Amino acid sequence: MTNPAPPQWEVYIIETKSGKLYTGITNDLDRRFNEHKTHQKGARFFHFSSPESIVFRETHPDRSSATKREIAIKAMNRKAKLSLLQKEPGDSNG
């Protein structure tokens, strides 16, 4: 019997209905987005403006690297985040 592959972690950005951007990490983006939409275990951030869509996702091999990237993205100003969203898929790691 083989061991299941370890979960891949993703950094994601969700745009709210009011246009704000929320950055987070997860190992199951579909589940996490649903939690945000239904306010089940979702961030308090979404109590003020509902999540609209996932506008960015980036895969990482482990939680540590995903967390480091999340911190780096959260430190960006809005203009830098919007620039990140314009990059081609596959160009966003880094």
- Domain spans in the chain, listed from the N-terminal domain onward: 9-86
Looking at residue 94, what is its pLDDT?
A: 44
Looking at residue 92, what is its pLDDT?
A: 47
pTM: 0.84
Q: Which of the two residues, 18 and 46, has the higher pLDDT score?
A: 18
Q: What is the CATH number of domain 9-86?
A: 3.40.1440.10
- Give every CB contact of residue 57 below 8 A, 6+ residues apart in sequence: 10, 11, 12, 13, 29
> What's the half-sphere exposure (Cβ side, CA atoms, 13 Å) at 42?
21
Residue reference for tokens 């939409």? 37
pLDDT class of 90 with cuts at 50, 70, 90? low
pLDDT class of 79 with cuts at 50, 70, 90? very high
* Chain segment 23-76, per-residue pLDDT in tens: 999 999 999 999 998 887 777 788 888 999 999 999 999 999 999 999 999 999
